[in-house]
Amino acid sequence: MSFTVAIVGRPNVGKSTLFNRLVGKKLALVDDTPGVTRDRRPGDAKLIDLRFRIIDTAGLEQSGPDTLQGRMWAQTEAAIDEADLSLFLVDAKGGLTPADETLAEMLRRRGKPVVLVANKSEARGSDGGFYDAFTLGLGEPCPISAEHGQGMLDLRDAIVAAIGEDRAYPPEDDVAETDIDLRPTFKDDGEDEEVETAYDETKPLRVAIVGRPNAGKSTLINRFLGEDRLLTGPEAGITRDSISVEWDWRGRTIKMFDTAGMRRKAKVQEKLEKLSVADALRAIRFAETVVIVFDATIPFEKQDLQIVDLVLREGRAAVLAFNKWDLVEDWQAVLADLREKTERLLPQARGIRAVPISGHTGYGLDRLMQAIIETDKTWNRRISTARLNRWLESQTVQHPPPAVSGRRLKLKYMTQVKARPPGFMISCTRPDALPESYVRYLINGLRNDFDLPGVPIRMHFRSGDNPYESKAKKRR
């Protein structure tokens, strides 16, 4: 992307709507409630023939620097300083307010190019607000409708005029190829791999950070980045959107998603919180590894367990992070208690990696990243068919399947049909009659013998014969 644009304006003028229009996706939460956006959200924008990086920001609200609104405005100022150009949105329908004049004065002091945009110009009575915008002293406003897509050609022309054609349309050779394809690649589920594939240490990794409100998720990501990139504070529920940030860890690109805190479903009543939780669920589905952040001072609340179960049911690799370790006094006793409770309360994730950390001091972050990498390796692991069938034979010898209605079940053949998460198929007689207890026995055996701790394992059964056995009979 050749230049960066920040969308700024007071609350509820349509900044996030325009952001979604330009990136071509509904990435930012949009609601009639003022002040939905709090963190600055980046994205790759396309406007006709223009390509640029765009940042959605929080609306201006005059308040002290120690308040939540003051910290939100500090994030907006950081976005303006980072950008090469600002799109200053005003509401043509509602007219100007003192906040618009304050923001216009601040933008003038910055000395960077500004494009004045009169949004909601499709509404009746918007002419008065459009002409009032001239009084801000930032040039002729560009009338648009972000919701309906009107005026986009005029907006493109205004951006080109402000940034300059050389900057707007750089030679192709000068454009850095920064776009990385982060879509997961899938193998044919029916592919029978006799050679176990090596783990790709250079592949970008998508990591979602989830947990209850006020567990310290945003503080943790800020500590990883080494800057106050995300809005934090003592108030619960500060994060609303799922914000993605990229950084480099030992030469590997990590894309982290900060998510809104997830409360119990019965407590989620407001529409905006429902949207935030839905956004967090999308981040979990898009991620490869999910870090569930626990508050070490009050761990294993019922909601913590439900979040872990949700992540595993989605098939994601999971790591537990016990945050606020700097507040724990008798850490040896607490650590032993946490390990015991992890094994007892999360039997579906036996062996899951759990790391004590402090997002405030940085304690344990290297160990957490190592756990994330090792868990992702496990999640991607493929095991050869030959090894699996030797293992299946030894398991059935040690503990044969039970007899059902006087007839003993036979497990004939086993193969891994997919990874991410590991999925296995076993050919057997009467698969519907196989007891759940025996399925758990096989899954636990796979975890122990092939070193698959903490990742969800999918086990499928179907009736049929061993395909290798039929080939051998034909050769004879």
CA 256 to CA 275: how far, in whole Å? Answer: 20
Q: What is the number of other CB atoms lying within 10 angstroms of the CB of residue 434?
A: 20
The answer to whether 325 is annotated as binding is yes
* Rg of the chain on CA atoms, in Å: 27
The answer to whether 369 is annotated as binding is no
Question: Do the beta carbons of residue 53 and residue 61 sit within 8 Å?
Answer: no
The answer to whether 466 is annotated as binding is no
Alpha-helical runs (H) found in 112-253: 127-132, 152-163, 165-168, 217-225
The answer to whether 51 is annotated as binding is no
Alpha-helical runs (H) found in 204-349: 217-225, 271-286, 302-313, 331-345
The answer to whether 124 is annotated as binding is no
The answer to whether 213 is annotated as binding is yes
221 to each of 54, 81, 99, how far by Cα in Å?
Answer: 21, 21, 31
The answer to whether 262 is annotated as binding is yes
The answer to whether 16 is annotated as binding is yes
The answer to whether 14 is annotated as binding is yes
The answer to whether 268 is annotated as binding is no
The answer to whether 261 is annotated as binding is yes
DSSP character for 402? Answer: P
The answer to whether 63 is annotated as binding is no
CA 286 to CA 378: how far, in whole Å? Answer: 18
The answer to whether 216 is annotated as binding is yes
Q: Which residue is listed with tokens 């933008």?
A: 107
Strand partners, 257: 208, 244
The answer to whether 44 is annotated as binding is no
The answer to whether 407 is annotated as binding is no
**Which among 214, 197, 168, 256 has a CA at the least distance from the CA of 377?**
197
The answer to whether 196 is annotated as binding is no
The answer to whether 242 is annotated as binding is no
The answer to whether 237 is annotated as binding is no
The answer to whether 60 is annotated as binding is yes
The answer to whether 387 is annotated as binding is no
Provide the sign of the torsion angle of the four alpha carbons 425, 431, 434, 436, taken in this order: positive
Hey, what amino acid is at 362?
G
The answer to whether 5 is annotated as binding is no
CA 32 to CA 35: how far, in whole Å? Answer: 9
The answer to whether 15 is annotated as binding is yes
The answer to whether 184 is annotated as binding is no
CA 451 to CA 435: how far, in whole Å? Answer: 24
Q: What is the number of other CB atoms lying within 10 angstroms of the CB of residue 16?
A: 25
Q: Which residue is listed with tokens 């071509």?
A: 24
The answer to whether 222 is annotated as binding is no
How would you class 446 by CB atoms within 10 Å of its CB: exposed for 0-12, middle for 13-18, buried for 19 or more? Answer: buried
The answer to whether 412 is annotated as binding is no
The answer to whether 380 is annotated as binding is no
The answer to whether 289 is annotated as binding is no
CA 19 to CA 13: how far, in whole Å? Answer: 12
Question: Quick one: tokens of 229?
Answer: 């990139």
The answer to whether 107 is annotated as binding is no
The answer to whether 444 is annotated as binding is no
CA 145 to CA 122: how far, in whole Å? Answer: 6
* 293 phi, psi to nearest 5 deg: -90, 120
The answer to whether 93 is annotated as binding is no
Residues in the annotated binding site: 9-16, 56-60, 119-122, 211-218, 258-262, 323-326
The annotated binding site for GTP is made up of: 9-16, 56-60, 119-122, 211-218, 258-262, 323-326
